[in-house]
Structure formats: C-alpha cells, structure tokens
Chains A and B, each alone.
Chain A
Amino acid sequence: MISANLSAIFYLASGVLFILALRGLSSPETSRQGNLFGILGMIIAITVTFLSTGNFSTGFIFVLIFILAGGSIGAFIAYRIPMTAMPELVAGFHSLVGLAAVFVAISAFLNPEAFNLGTPGNIKLGSLIEMSIGAAVGAITFSGSVIAFLKLQGIMSGSPITFKGQHPLNAIILMSIVVLIYLLCSTQSSNLFWILLAVSFLIGFLLIIPIGGADMPVVISMLNSYSGWAAAGIGFTLENTALIITGALVGSSGAILSYIMCKGMNRSFFNVILGGFGATEDATSNSTKEQRPVKSGNADDAAFLMKNASSVIIVPGYGMAVAQAQHALREMVDTLKKNDIKVSYAIHPVAGRMPGHMNVLLAEANVPYDEVFELEEINNDFANADVAFVIGANDVTNPVAKTDPQSPIYGMPVLDVEKCKSVLFVKRSLSPGYAGIDNDLFYKENTLMLFADAKKMTEDITKNL
C-alpha cells in the first residue's frame, strides 16, 4: 500500500502523459509515440490504484478478470473494425465511457464509505453535487451516443426526427435535471438519484434524435466533449487528479472539434443542436430540378479527360466511404501518376461523418498524407488544375454557398471546384445532397456527371486509362 500523497503524484504523472499523448498528434510522425505515452499513462494510473487500495484479495482477482474480459472484447473490436465504420465505433465507445461514469457514480452513491465520501444518506455535499453532475452528464453521453451509433450504423434512419413542442419539452427536462440535483443534494433521497438518472437518459435520447446524418460530425464531437466532462465530474468526486486532468482535456478537445465542424458548415452550434436541418427543403428544390440539362458521361470519357490533364484534384466525400471506394481510388491515382499527372486530394472539414474521417480512409488506402490537403491549403489551386474529380461529395462543392444569400448553406466554406477547367462528378443520381438543395455545379458547361457507384466507376476509369 502506498501513501495517498505518493499516489497523487503518480496520478499527476499519468495526467501529464495524457497531455503528451494529445500533443503527439500535432504531426503524424510524433503521433505513434504520443499514443505510447497515453498507454503508459493508463498503465501507471491503473497500477497506482491497485497499490493504493492495497487490496489483493479475491476482489482483486475479479477486477483482473473483468479487465481482461473487457480488454479482449475491446482488442477484438479494434482489430476487426473496418476503417469506414470508425464513426460508429467512436460513438459506441463514447456510450461506454458515459455508462461507466454512471456506474461509478451509482456505486459511489450506494457505498460512499469506500470512497471516503461519508455514509449512505449522509454524503458530503460537495461530493454529492459532483457525483450527480457526473452521473447526469454520463447518462446523457450514454443515451445520446447510442442514438448517434444507431443512426450512423443505419439501424435508425439518419433523417431528423422532429415533433411539435420538442424544444420546449427538452428545455423543461433540462431544467428539471437542475432542480432534481438541487433536491437530491438537500434530501439525499436515493429515489431522486434514480429519477435523475432516468431523466438524464431520456434527455440524451431526445437531444440527438432531431439531428440529421450529415450533422453527425458535430454530434460525435459534442458527445466526445460530454464524455470528458462526465469523467471530470467523477474525478472531482474521487478527488483524483488523473481523472480531472483527463476530463478537462477530453472536454475541451471535443468542444474544439465541435466548433471546427460548425465553422465548416457556417452554422452556429445551437442551430445544429436544435436539429431538423435539411428536413424541410426538399419540396422547394424538387420543382426546379430535372428540367435543366446535364452532361453525363461514362468511364471512357472520364479517362480521356484525365489522361489529357496535367493536374487533377480529388474531392472525396461520404459517398466514397459508403462505396468503400478508397482503394480503387488510390489505384486510379497510381495510374494517373504513372502518366506524370500531378494529383492531390482536397478535404473539406465536414466531409464524412466525423472529423478527419476522409483522411483516415485515404491513409488506409496508402495515400501519403502529404498529398492530402485541407480546404484553406488547396482552395486556390483549383483555378490552376485541369480536372476536379468529385467522388461522393456534394454540398461541400456547391457554389451557391458563395452566391445565394437565400440558400441554407450560404456562407459555408466550400471547395472552389467550379474553377477547374473541367469537373467530374461521380454520383449515383442527381438527387440533392444532405442540405436538400440542388447543386448548380451539375449543370455547368464544364461538368461531366458520372452516374454510377463510386467504386465501380473508379475501377472502370482505371481500366480505361
């Protein structure tokens, strides 16, 4: 058994290692080392906890069994999961953090002596407040992430679910959570604790159902942030520095990612959270479309255009992930490079279903990361490029965001694809994108639509090159 002071120092060390883990992600070269720091920090935290309890009886064996059981499930998932399913995986993992926070809070509430928090029915006020906040945020994280997971997995429809009085209802529930925490702290009633958990689960569910599929990057980032705050709340209860530091890091990390994603769509955070985006636009756009002529082509035409180009910019989007076309795309690019054509990739901040989704898929397909550029880095290059190859993206290329103040996506930063000499659009149909608006780019003189499955089309083009 080691002293409380010594273990506090070790917890601090593991907190510092976690900071270094995130710091490592500033560049791909240092990132792997960063991950090792994170693992080391975790090992220190767990070992110190064992040493500080000094309990190596039967209970210890069971703890090890549960760690190994959970660990093998986790390892199995980590090795088996396809990279395209990363958003679902992360949402699923968030839900587990949330639920674990809830369980720890329940355990501490039922048996406060084990945590030095007082006795049942007479828990220290500060601890009770921290505990109930941690539990409530954990519960919201859990149910919210479950919904996000179901939507991403396609088990639940990705379209927003809205009903009348939704926002007032949510506001009432959120206020009731505050009231419940207040009452719980003044009465210490265990019934109120259970009601608080139930209501928090409910609000997590209600908060996420109105948010549509393409807003998932914001939702996942937000839930990431919540899982951090939940951990921090529990960290305060347990007076554990490692948990407090980590909670704060994760909380701010998720908040920053949400901010970046919102900025990528030029929408306020509240606009996204209130949800319902894209649900009402279809009616207006349907009337004008279909009448305008589009040029559509086949793989042969596309191959011809690209063969005669000297530089090509590829714009991947969620459709590429759905079609699992990243490997086929890389093969196409390899062939282009053999013909001395310069190829780069342009990634919009909100392409895909989570921050950095496209980058991971391209990395999986062995695309070197120094050929992949962010919006600001590459947007000026479109004007000098010969061909833009848009694969599975739509709204993020729509020039209407720059020209039409009436449009729901007006002001959103978009890739200046239309400035290219010619644009190739791989898409299954002319249907509007997530925002429900028509893309003018489809009807431009220099646009060639390639109606097909993204993967099949890329493979066909490669054959024709």
Chain B
Amino acid sequence: MEIDPLIFRLSIFILSIFVGYYVVWSVTPSLHTPLMSVTNAISSVIIVGAIIAGLSGNSDNVFNTSSIFGFLAIALAAINIFGGFLVTQRMLAMYKKKKKGK
C-alpha cells in the first residue's frame, strides 16, 4: 500500500516545527525585533501561491475573479517581502560592537 503524499508533507511540517523551536530559542533576545520582521518577510513566500493564482487566467483574458485575487495577493506579499527584508537589513546594520581602543 502506498503512503499518502499528505503524510510526507505532514512529516515535513512537524519536523520543521521542531527545527523552528530550536533555532528560535537560540536567537539572542536583543535581535527579537529583527526576528519578527524577517519571519514576516519569509512567511510572504505565500507569494508562490499568489503567482500561480495570478497566472491562472488564459492569455485572452488575463483577469478573471480568481486571478484578480491572485494579483492582489502578489502585491500584498511583495510589500511584505521587500519591506520585511529591507527593514531587517536596516535594523541589523545598526547593531555594532564596542569600538576597541576608543
């Protein structure tokens, strides 16, 4: 009997929760704000679903109800991706060590 592919996805999901658990506990508390902004950015990988939705219209009619929602989702996710990564970058650039010999 074959295993339902869902089980594999569920395994990936459960294991990723554990990976997330250990990785996040090792994040230093002073970087918790960048952690939130970067998780925000990466959760916008939902844009892959939005792109599939946006491309679902045929070439004569790019816009149907379903693809319009896809396009809107693309724009929202893109705000998050660019905004999230850039603001994280901006924040992380500010964390500096004490200058020696000052």
Residues of B within 8 A of A242 (CB): 45, 48
Residues of B within 8 A of A23 (CB): 23, 26
Min CB distance, A103 to chain B, in Å? 4
A239 & B5 in contact (Cβ 8 Å cutoff): yes
A430 within 8 A of B: no
A234 & B97 in contact (Cβ 8 Å cutoff): no
Residues of A within 8 A of B82 (CB): 70-75, 78
B19 within 8 A of A: yes
A58 & B32 in contact (Cβ 8 Å cutoff): no
Min CB distance, B55 to chain A, in Å? 5
Residues of B within 8 A of A252 (CB): 17, 20-21, 24
Describe A's contact surface by its main secondary structure. helix
Describe B's contact surface by its main secondary structure. helix
B93 within 8 A of A: yes
A272 within 8 A of B: no
Q: Mark B48-83, 1 if CB is under 8 A from A, else 0.
A: 111111111101001011110111111111111111
Residues of A within 8 A of B56 (CB): 107, 111, 113-115
Give residues 157-213 of A contacting B (CB, 8 Å).
none
B9 & A246 in contact (Cβ 8 Å cutoff): no
With A25-B31, A111-B53 already in contact, the answer to whether A354 and B73 are too (CB < 8 A) is no
Per the bound structure, the CA–CA distance linking A21 and B96 in Å amounts to 19
Min CB distance, B45 to chain A, in Å? 5
Min CB distance, A65 to chain B, in Å? 9
Min CB distance, A52 to chain B, in Å? 9
With A111-B56, A370-B97 already in contact, the answer to whether A243 and B48 are too (CB < 8 A) is yes
Min CB distance, B25 to chain A, in Å? 6
Partner of B30, one of A28, A104, A354: A28
A70 & B36 in contact (Cβ 8 Å cutoff): no
Give residues 1-45 of B contacting A (CB, 8 Å).
5-6, 9, 12-14, 16-17, 19-21, 23-45
The 4 closest A-B pairs by CB, nearest first: A70-B78, A356-B32, A74-B83, A114-B56
Binding site for A on B (CB under 8 A): 5-6, 9, 12-14, 16-17, 19-21, 23-57, 59, 62, 64-67, 69-99
Given contacts A103-B50, A104-B70, 11 further A-B contacts (CB under 8 A): A22-B20, A49-B51, A58-B62, A114-B66, A231-B45, A248-B12, A249-B42, A254-B36, A359-B29, A363-B91, A369-B96
Q: What are 8 A-B residue pairs whose CB atoms fall within 8 Å in the complex?
A: A22-B20, A22-B38, A67-B74, A73-B79, A97-B44, A103-B53, A104-B50, A238-B49
